[in-house]
């Protein structure tokens, strides 16, 4: 059964768009508070890994408020296109990018990751942070990312995974009980931060995610766990 934000009859895609439109004004604050800013470290680790490929044109899918797009641009001095379903999230990102004078380097566009309007083999690299878990059709979305990246180029995915070992139960207690309450209080959206642990729990990670990427047609897939496995970065090469 597919996990959706509001458990209504609307498509997952529509519900995800509505959810992010609702929480956009508080999204950055909540992100940094709930992760104790460790999400910044994870994004920087992705950028370091991407730097080895020297991409000049990067597509950042599910860009949200543009945190990863900004990190990629600053870290690689690349031209970045940030794409997201939620116009409200994009609006926050556009304001952030203007304030740091990067509007000529980062273009923010509204779009659907599962139906990209870009031609084949356009981008040197593609990135997605905390976005593939929200795809309505995971395989279709991954195939689109593969389609628009150049031959021998890579797709870099940062996504939550499950903490294994002795820290697992402690983290899951925080993730399922404390985090949703803080999220609800600040965002005023009763479901958004309950959807987060539910969707992470249902999402493939590690070797399973690697196999899905290989089945999508990528010729090589590597991954690195972050912070005891709270998140994982995948590099899938076309």
DSSP per-residue codes, 193-221: HHHHHHHHHHS--THHHHHHHHHHT-SEE
Q: Is 91 inside a domain boundary?
A: yes
pLDDT average per 10 residues of sequence, the chain (238 residues):
88 94 90 84 98 98 98 98 98 98 98 98 98 96 98 97 88 89 87 88 95 98 96 98
Q: Is 58 inside a domain boundary?
A: yes
Domain count for the chain: 1
State residue 164's pLDDT score.
84
Q: Is 187 inside a domain boundary?
A: yes
Q: Is 53 inside a domain boundary?
A: yes
Which domain covers residue 82, as residue numbers?
A: 12-237
Q: Is 5 inside a domain boundary?
A: no
State residue 186's pLDDT score.
83
Task: Report yes or no: 212 and 236 within 8 Å, Cβ to Cβ.
Answer: no
CATH code of 123's domain:
3.40.50.150
């Amino acid at each position: 059964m597919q996990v959706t934000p509001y458990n209504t009859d609307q498509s997952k895609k529509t519900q995800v768009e509505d959810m992010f439109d609702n929480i956009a004004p508080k999204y950055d604050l909540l992100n940094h508070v709930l992760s104790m800013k460790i999400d910044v470290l994870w994004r920087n680790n992705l950028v370091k890994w991407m730097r080895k490929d020297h991409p000049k044109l990067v597509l950042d899918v599910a860009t949200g408020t543009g945190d990863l797009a900004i990190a990629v641009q600053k870290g690689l001095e690349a031209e970045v296109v940030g794409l997201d379903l939620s116009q409200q999230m994009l609006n926050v990102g556009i304001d952030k990018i203007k304030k740091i004078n990067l509007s000529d380097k980062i273009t923010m566009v509204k779009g659907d990751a599962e139906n990209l309007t870009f031609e084949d083999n356009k981008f040197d690299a593609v990135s997605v942070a905390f976005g593939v878990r929200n795809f309505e059709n995971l395989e279709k979305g991954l195939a689109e990312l593969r389609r628009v990246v150049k031959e021998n180029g890579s797709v870099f995915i940062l996504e939550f995974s499950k903490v294994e070992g002795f820290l697992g139960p402690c983290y899951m207690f925080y993730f399922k009980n404390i985090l949703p309450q803080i999220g609800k209080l600040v965002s005023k959206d009763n479901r958004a931060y309950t959807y987060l642990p539910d969707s992470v729990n249902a999402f493939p990670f590690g070797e399973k995610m690697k196999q899905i990427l290989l089945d999508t047609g990528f010729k090589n897939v590597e991954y690195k766990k972050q912070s005891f496995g709270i998140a994982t970065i995948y590099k899938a090469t076309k």
